[in-house]
Chains A and B, each alone.
Chain A
Amino acid sequence: MKTIFKSLLAITVLSMVLGSCGKGDSKKNGALASNAAEKVYVAPGEYDEFYAFLSGGFSGQLAVYGLPSGRLFKVIPVFSVDPEKAYGFSEETKPMLNTSHGFIPWDDSHHPDISQTAGELDGRWVFINGNNTPRIAKIDLTSFETTEIIEIPNSAGNHSSSFVTENTEYVVAGTRFSVPYPQKDMPIKEYKGNFKGALTFISVDPKNGAMNIKFQLMMPGFNYDLSHPGRGASHGWFFFTTYNTEEANSLLEVNASQNDKDFIAAINWKKIEEYVNNGGGKKAPTRYAHNVYNEETHTATSTIKEEVLIINPSDVPGAVYFMPTPKSPHGCDVDPSGEYIVGSGKLAAELTVHSFSKMLKAIEQKKFDGDAYGIPILQYEATLAGAVKQPGLGPLHTEFDGKGNAYTTFFISSEVVKWKLGTWEVLDRKPVFYSVGHLMIPGGNSRKPFGKYLVAMNKITKDRYLPTGPEVTQSAQLFDITGEKMEMLLDFPTIGEPHYAAGIPANLIVPKSKKIYKLEDNKHKSVVKTEAAAKVVRNGNEVHVYMTMIRSHFAPDNIEGIQVGDKVYFHVTNLEQDYDVPHGFAVIGAQTSELLIMPGQTKTNIWEPKQVGVWPFYCTDFCSALHQEMQGYIRVSPKGSKVPLTYTLDGDAVDAE
């Protein structure tokens, strides 16, 4: 009897093992079923296979992770000040955050997208949108620094942004909130018909990436949520999801969910571009900031521009259509071939897929279902390619693996669902923890996805990590998608709330990542390239300190003759020409951040001493064996004091022979 029990037990255990092993489907997360740890382990000194750029959400920044390890390498300051890097604190970077509303120290960063050539990732720049005070930023992937920010006028809640066309001809910025155009003092209840939704097309110079607003398309006052460009055959078109086609202005959670279908707006931007190039459109007065960081002067400048080109859809017949799409669609995702446009109706029971070729045919055959503000509405059935039936609850965003499969996130049912393009059948579903927003497959919104990993970005984590009080982290979860079934490998915390992400093979970035700035190329207006050239100059109550730093001292490091009430500018140049030898600079009582200065770079801080005394300054970045010795003193005398202005190093003038 005992033996029989034992045998039964053995069989049960065996069948359990068999069950968990079958077809690599690891529903059981045990070590028996999976080698997940091995798949994400990147040994010390080894590199990750992919870079992942995750939006920092309400931190306003952009986080750089490695995949598959999930290790955080850098947080790139974009729309928010960052005392760690002096971004928005140093005189050189303050102009980056200038807007028509003045200096803005924060924003809500949303959707990073990597530049493309011929529909494939080229790894030159990442673009990202600021949602609150509408802006688009460009990050240079040689320096991993924000090098350009352009404000979007006539816009509010810059959400259906910052996606690029196949050759990065344009980066687009669509407004989530419609607003009066032009802005004016008017009753909110007169919203309907009077508010407008601007879709902004920003051209990108193929040589240097310089951004310029080419035109703004003034659309009806709906909410424009997300967008993606056509590719392949549909290159030349751009698709935007809309919600609130009801044009409600209050309690949108109810009032914007009345219509059975909202729209995907299909915009033939090539047609509009041609119209603009032929002199079309109306120049209208406005105000927006255009901020550019110059790598040679290590300095940003901000210019306020006062004109923008406005296009009305009726100006360019045949350029704008609406495709009805059920229930407040969020994601608007185009498959790698460019044929399918997936609209994720947040509240819809199914996932709607439109066909680009059917859309063209419907336009040709004028299969319209009336119009909205003069814009033809295509018949729903005429553009429909198919629908994924009962895929989950609350679809949000879809990406593609390049092997004929699509992956969609479902916020309400908290899962990622894999389905097949063309047959629309559901192939796999995996829970995520919890309430996923967007997902990312490296290259998953391009012509050439790298379908190895999928990152799901979750809004809610509750009990997933060690608790940290009421505020807990958001998370990313990594899946292996090389098999028939998805396999969760890793779970890692993120900064802010990652709304969206872009990934790219590391080998497209690594070889061109910058190591140092050449001192000889430094054209900063206050650079000093040798210790002997260091100096301190008084001009009224302004004192300019032109200082150098090299392991392990400042020149000069003793300054006297400063007075209470002076405004002291420290222009500090790092003379190092060696990789990974930044120096920092901080002075007691400075009402700003430290400076963090890369080799060959110059940065400036302002210090306004309020107290008489002798005050130290020091290097904040552990630079060398004698880092702790890298310090200096500045003597502050009462206003009107006779103490002469002197500056020395080791008791002598800096240029003493």
Chain B
Amino acid sequence: MKKINLTISLLAVLALFMVSCNGGEKKPSATETETQTETAPAKQGQAAVVDTVSAANALQVAKSLDDFKTLVAAIEAAGIEDAVVNAGPLTVFAPVNGAFDKLPAGTLDDLLKPENKSKLAFILTNHVAPANYPEKQLKKEAEKGRKLYMASGKYLTVEVKEDGIYVGGTKILKSVKVSNGWIHVIDNVLVPAE
């Protein structure tokens, strides 16, 4: 018993010294404050990288436009921001706010619930092709009868009609080059077949 007591007290004293030793060496010095580096940003993922020099990526472009408020909210709710700023290349078929209004009443609110996160992510990834498809290339895909493979694992059909290019049955209204690929604006949500 005595032996144990002694050992314990010895350990306690040792521990005390360890603490005081560590504490004693933390001397704040003038140079320390002088050279304080702007600390690296609190990192989440690539979406958190601060870069005001490069051309804007797909997420930055979407965020800068009021037309995509709902889409951006959905991307954030699904937690797929990092995928949309990824090196890609990506082609995003981006539904405008109004497109979400066309969904059956209550659908969007339901999808935005935390428990439906993966379902929402599945729908959103059905709007992203892991490839570089400018309009010219989309026309070519249509011509050659090649389907677009989407990040959801599903395929979309491209058609060239008299009034423009159609993807998954909805018309491309406008195209924007982004640093990691292309955004094609559409006004329907491309809900994948289950």
Instruction: Write the residues of chain A forming the contact surface with B, with a CB cutoff of 8 angstroms.
Output: 3, 6-7, 10, 13-14, 17-18, 21, 24, 32-35, 38, 45-50, 402, 442, 450-452, 482-483, 487, 505-507, 510-511, 514-516, 550-553, 576-579, 581, 599, 623-626, 650, 652, 657
Q: Ordered nearest first, which 10 A-B pairs have the shortest CB separation?
A: A551-B89, A577-B55, A578-B179, A505-B35, A45-B43, A515-B53, A506-B37, A579-B54, A47-B40, A624-B87
Contact check, A482 vs B27: say whether CB atoms are below 8 A apart: yes
* Least Cβ–Cβ distance between A622 and chain B, in angstroms: 9
Contact-residue size bin, chain B (C-beta under 8 Å from the other chain)? 35 or more
Contact check, B14 vs A32: say whether CB atoms are below 8 A apart: yes
CA distance A515 to B40 in the complex (A): 16
Provide the main secondary structure of the chain B interface. Answer: loop
CA distance A581 to B51 in the complex (A): 13
What would 15 more interface pairs be, CB under 8 Å, given A482-B32, A552-B132?
A: A14-B13, A17-B17, A21-B17, A32-B18, A46-B39, A47-B37, A47-B40, A49-B36, A483-B25, A516-B54, A551-B87, A578-B87, A581-B87, A599-B54, A624-B87
* Least Cβ–Cβ distance between A530 and chain B, in angstroms: 11
Contact check, B40 vs A624: say whether CB atoms are below 8 A apart: no
CB nearest to B55 among chain A residues? A577
What does the 1/0 interface line of B7-40 toward A look like (CB < 8 Å)?
A: 0001001100110111011010101101111111
* Least Cβ–Cβ distance between B110 and chain A, in angstroms: 31
CA distance A50 to B32 in the complex (A): 11
CA distance A482 to B30 in the complex (A): 10
Contact check, A551 vs B54: say whether CB atoms are below 8 A apart: no
Interface centre among A14, A21, A451, A578, by most chain B C-beta atoms within 10 angstroms, is A578
**B161 interfacial by beta-carbon distance below 8 Å:** no
Chain A residues with CB under 8 Å of B35's CB are 49-50, 442, 450, 452, 505, 507
CB nearest to A42 among chain B residues? B40
A and B contact pairs by CB, cutoff 8 A, 24 listed: A14-B10, A17-B14, A21-B20, A32-B17, A32-B18, A35-B22, A49-B35, A49-B36, A49-B37, A451-B29, A482-B31, A482-B32, A510-B37, A515-B54, A516-B54, A550-B132, A551-B181, A579-B49, A625-B86, A625-B87, A625-B88, A626-B132, A650-B137, A650-B140
* Least Cβ–Cβ distance between B180 and chain A, in angstroms: 6
A46: contacting residue among B25, B40, B180, CB under 8 A: B40
**B174 interfacial by beta-carbon distance below 8 Å:** no
Chain B residues with CB under 8 Å of A579's CB are 49, 51, 53-54
CB nearest to B26 among chain A residues? A35
**B57 interfacial by beta-carbon distance below 8 Å:** yes
Chain A residues with CB under 8 Å of B87's CB are 551, 578, 581, 623-625
CB nearest to A18 among chain B residues? B17
* Least Cβ–Cβ distance between B3 and chain A, in angstroms: 7
* Least Cβ–Cβ distance between B40 and chain A, in angstroms: 5
CA distance A507 to B6 in the complex (A): 52
Contact check, B14 vs A626: say whether CB atoms are below 8 A apart: no
Contact check, A10 vs B17: say whether CB atoms are below 8 A apart: no
CA distance A38 to B25 in the complex (A): 11
CA distance A38 to B21 in the complex (A): 13
Chain B residues with CB under 8 Å of A35's CB are 21-22, 25
Chain B residues with CB under 8 Å of A47's CB are 37, 39-40
CA distance A514 to B53 in the complex (A): 9
Chain B residues with CB under 8 Å of A626's CB are 89, 130-132
CA distance A45 to B27 in the complex (A): 25
* Least Cβ–Cβ distance between B2 and chain A, in angstroms: 7
CB nearest to B13 among chain A residues? A14
CA distance A50 to B13 in the complex (A): 37
Q: Which of B57-93 contact A (CB under 8 A)?
A: 57, 86-89
Chain B residues with CB under 8 Å of A21's CB are 17, 20-21, 24
Contact check, B180 vs A657: say whether CB atoms are below 8 A apart: no
CA distance A271 to B84 in the complex (A): 63
CA distance A624 to B87 in the complex (A): 5
B21: contacting residue among A33, A442, A452, CB under 8 A: A33
CA distance A259 to B6 in the complex (A): 66
CA distance A650 to B27 in the complex (A): 65
Chain A residues with CB under 8 Å of B136's CB are 657
Contact check, B27 vs A483: say whether CB atoms are below 8 A apart: yes
Contact check, B21 vs A450: say whether CB atoms are below 8 A apart: no
User: Contacts A576-B179, A625-B89; is A553 near B132 (CB within 8 Å)?
Assistant: yes
CB nearest to B51 among chain A residues? A579
B40: contacting residue among A45, A442, A482, A553, CB under 8 A: A45
* Least Cβ–Cβ distance between B145 and chain A, in angstroms: 14
Chain B residues with CB under 8 Å of A506's CB are 37
* Least Cβ–Cβ distance between A562 and chain B, in angstroms: 26
Contact check, A507 vs B37: say whether CB atoms are below 8 A apart: yes
CA distance A32 to B27 in the complex (A): 18
* Least Cβ–Cβ distance between B135 and chain A, in angstroms: 10
Chain B residues with CB under 8 Å of A516's CB are 53-54
Chain B residues with CB under 8 Å of A50's CB are 35
Contact check, B140 vs A577: say whether CB atoms are below 8 A apart: no
Contact check, B2 vs A552: say whether CB atoms are below 8 A apart: no
Contact check, A552 vs B17: say whether CB atoms are below 8 A apart: no
* Least Cβ–Cβ distance between A254 and chain B, in angstroms: 45
Contact check, B179 vs A577: say whether CB atoms are below 8 A apart: yes
Chain A residues with CB under 8 Å of B55's CB are 577-578
CA distance A487 to B24 in the complex (A): 14
Q: Which of B146-181 contact A (CB under 8 A)?
A: 179-181
